[in-house]
Amino acid sequence: MANILIISSEFLPMQSSGINRISFMKRFLESQGHHISVLTTSSEAQGIVRNTQFDTSNNIFRAYSLSKLHRRLLSSRKLPIYPKFAYTGKYATWQFSAITKGKKLVKELGIDCIFVSFPDFASMDVATRIAKATSTRLDIDFRDPPYWFFSEPVNSASLTTCKSIVNNAIATCKNIYTSTEQSKNILTSYYNITQETTVIGNGYDKDIIDNLPPRYKPHRDHIEIVHIGSFYPEGRDIMPLIKELETVSAAENTKFILRLIGDPPSQKAIHQFAHIAETITISIEDPLPAKKALIEANNADILLLIQGPTFNKQIPAKAYEYIALNNTILAIVGLNGATQKLLEQYPENVNIADYEEKKSIRETILRAVTHRPKIIDTNNLSRQEQVKLLSCCFK
């Protein structure tokens, strides 16, 4: 069995979709008899409470990085220093201590393989440098392709640095993993990849889904639509949906409450909400732990998924979770993208709209309002099934 060191600038007990994927892989590999350790940033850097007992029991090691508070202070309008040199993102200062600590861990723990999940340029750079310095196998999980695959970024020192990091990592690694076939194809073509490349879909955590409380939908005088996660103008723009909800609400005399659970929107977005939303209600709510968020989603009338053409090579983890909940889904997606191709396999509960066509969005809202969800088998989409593909890579 292998001794594996995961390099991840963020890890438990912090919560995010990226961490969920990595921590699930860790648990699976441990269940197969492998010994897994994690090198991550300090608790202060992640903005979480230090828990030495938790770290020790989960083989988590931490290296110094500038605290979340200090990053904010050095990124303020009065003192905008940090963004000018943090080319690899918010954990750029972690790299110096992490490389030193990582090389020491490889020797002390007898590490056979270093594993890193992308997109996280700081982690990828740390992992590559440790692997090279210690002549240790490197495996890369591209849960998302690099951002320059989706747009034409302006040339900058940050872009040059990040491209160099990815080039060096691919040249060094043994195995590559992606979350979709589309990502695999574009990465292979772009970088002329010859290494073994395995697709491991994000999937949903079956243990969590199967143990949710029974669905509870009280009698409501409104339609409750729930969106979990982030939205922004570049590829996940929620404004067209809000405008069409207003149109449908006025035309059909239907009351909508749109619950936005996740990262807070910008002040600009909040002002737009106030200007556009006259008859519908928009509730802005703080992020929730994974299970609590899924309970809210399970009890909603409609689940909202937004994934524009910019992200056609990706499938968000919540797409799998929404399908597994067997609830009504309103999906506003880029046509012919990876997300649409997944969703259209489950027409029983999915209502798909063209992200770029407001008429399509309006018509799909009307379908979703009258839709009655059905129970379907989604076991093949679980992370428990997807992650089994890792077994052949660690024997």
Closest by Cα among 150, 157, 161, 156 to 128 = 161
Domain span at residue 38 reads 3-203+384-393
Q: What is the pLDDT, as a whole number, of residue 40?
A: 98
* 391 pLDDT more than 90: no
Q: What is the pLDDT, as a whole number, of residue 151?
A: 75
Output the DSSP codes for 252-317: HT--EEEEEESSPPPHHHHHHHHHH-SSSEEEEE----HHHHHHHHHHSSEEEEEE-GGGTT---H
Domain match, 180 and 217 both: no
Domain match, 353 and 318 both: yes
Domain match, 216 and 197 both: no
Q: What is the CATH number of the domain that holds 77?
A: 3.40.50.2000
332-364 as b/e: b if 16+ CB within 10 A: bbbeebbbbbbbeebeebbbbbbbeeeebbbbb
Edge-to-edge strand list for the sheet holding 3-7? 60-63, 35-41, 3-7, 113-118, 137-142, 175-178, 196-199
For residues 319 and 315, give the distance between their C-alpha atoms in angstroms, rounded to a whole number.
Answer: 7
Q: What is the mean pLDDT of residues 110-115?
A: 98
Q: What is the mean pLDDT of residues 353-371?
A: 97
* 259 pLDDT more than 90: yes
Domain match, 303 and 277 both: yes
Q: What is the pLDDT, as a whole number, of residue 135?
A: 98
* 138 pLDDT more than 80: yes
Q: What is the pLDDT, as a whole number, of residue 152?
A: 75
Q: Count Cβ atoms below 10 Å from residue 39 Cβ, excluding itself.
A: 28
| Total structural domains within the chain | 2
Cβ 339 vs Cβ 307: under 8 Å? yes
pLDDT tens per residue, range 286-312: 988 889 999 999 999 999 999 999 999
Domain match, 247 and 193 both: no
Domain match, 239 and 255 both: yes
Q: What is the mean pLDDT of residues 13-41?
A: 91
Counting residues of the chain whose pLDDT is more than 90, the rounded percentage is: 76
Domain match, 173 and 265 both: no
**pLDDT interval class at 234 (50, 70, 90):** confident
Domain match, 127 and 174 both: yes
Domain match, 218 and 193 both: no
Domain match, 268 and 317 both: yes
Domain match, 108 and 196 both: yes
pTM (global) more than 0.95: no
* 216 pLDDT more than 90: no
Q: What is the mean pLDDT of residues 219-242?
A: 92
* 338 pLDDT more than 90: yes
Domain match, 224 and 109 both: no
Q: What is the pLDDT, as a whole number, of residue 144?
A: 86
* 145 pLDDT more than 90: no
**pLDDT interval class at 83 (50, 70, 90):** confident
